[in-house]
Amino acid sequence: MTAQILDGAAIAADIRAEVARRAASVTGQGIRPGLAAVLVGDNPASISYVSAKARACEEAGIFAETFRLGADSPREEVLRLIQDLNADERFHGILPQLPLPPHIDETEVIDSIDPRKDVDGLHPVNLGRLLRGVTTGAIPCTPNGVMEMLRRSGNDPAGKHVVVVGRSTLVGRPLAVLLSNKAEGANATVTICHTGTPDIGAHTRQADIVVVAAGRPKTLTADMVRPGAVVIDVGTNRIDDATRKRGWRLVGDADFPEVKEVASWITPVPGGVGPMTIAMLLVNTVRAAERRLDITA
């Protein structure tokens, strides 16, 4: 058996086309969706990510502006900028690009965002609503992207056993909540594994669907996967590769060459979950603008 490739780039393209139609509709009613990105420092990866998000916004008809601060900017300056953006009606979404410099408390910055403009879905108000089963607001982008990939590829998690490897607030925990919700396209039985789990493979071998988000290459190997299982690889890791001109390449958390010979479906890295994360950021932004339109109507 060789797994079918779950093409996140193709699914993301469909979602971005849907977002563009929604953005055009909102703009036609007098409110152009707007996203403010906050970039603190000059981390090359962060600059690249913000640029990619800005291009995606432009293609979808969303106004985007990046606000840059120096790496040594005091926390007060970052928080003051967030407050200014909270009050700026041009923007329906605020995105602080993570990670922030070590002297800036990421939690404090996220908590300072108006929950209505939190397009990452990480504000405690939005996470609390998610725990209640409310999915009409901002949902964390990567977990929501995973849900869309499963649904749109015909791998409905309903009634399935899903094992999530990773317990971060960014991916693992909100994804477990989404999967277990009593809702269409959810209704899964969910197990969360993490660094404190003595034998992760004992759990993943029982899974119909495995989502690995551990941040470590080869966390999931072929012997840990039940034949025919679906594998969603959230990891993005840079490893040395002397055969590449740049000297490195990106891999996920799964041992892709081996696991794809056991699984029925598998996401590639790159080209899997990554494009979905950006697509769902656009969804959250246009959804925030639509809510604003409802308020002003």
Cα 255 from Cα 130, distance rounded (Å): 32
What whole-number distance in Å separates Cα of residue 214 and Cα of residue 165? Answer: 6
User: Which residues lie across from 238 on neighbouring strands?
Assistant: 250
**Token digits for 41?**
């420092």
111 part of the active site: no
Question: How many angstroms separate the most distant Cα atoms in the chain?
Answer: 58
Picking from 88, 93, 154, the residue whose alpha carbon sits closest to that of residue 123 is 93
Q: 93-103: string of b/e by CB count within 10 Å (b at 16+)?
A: bbbbbeebbee
Give the DSSP letter of residue 205: T
In this structure, the strands spanning 63-69 and 265-266 are unpaired
Instruction: Based on the residue annotation, tell me whether 53 is a catalytic residue of this protein.
Output: yes
Residue whose structure tokens are 């989502």:
211
The single residue of 53, 117, 160, 260 carrying the catalytic annotation is 53
Q: Where are the beta strands (DSSP E) in the chain?
A: 4-5, 34-40, 63-69, 93-96, 161-165, 189-193, 209-212, 230-233, 237-240, 248-251, 265-266
Closest to 11 in 3D by CA, of 148, 194, 174, 142: 148
* Annotation marks residue 260 as catalytic: no
Decide: 139 and 125 in contact? Cβ < 8 Å: no
**What residues contact residue 121 under an 8 Å CB cut-off, 6+ apart?**
127, 130, 137, 138, 139, 140, 141, 144, 174, 284
The active-site residue, picked from 114, 120, 233, 255, is 120
219 near 198, Cβ under 8 Å? no
Looking at the annotation, which residues are catalytic?
Answer: 53, 97, 120
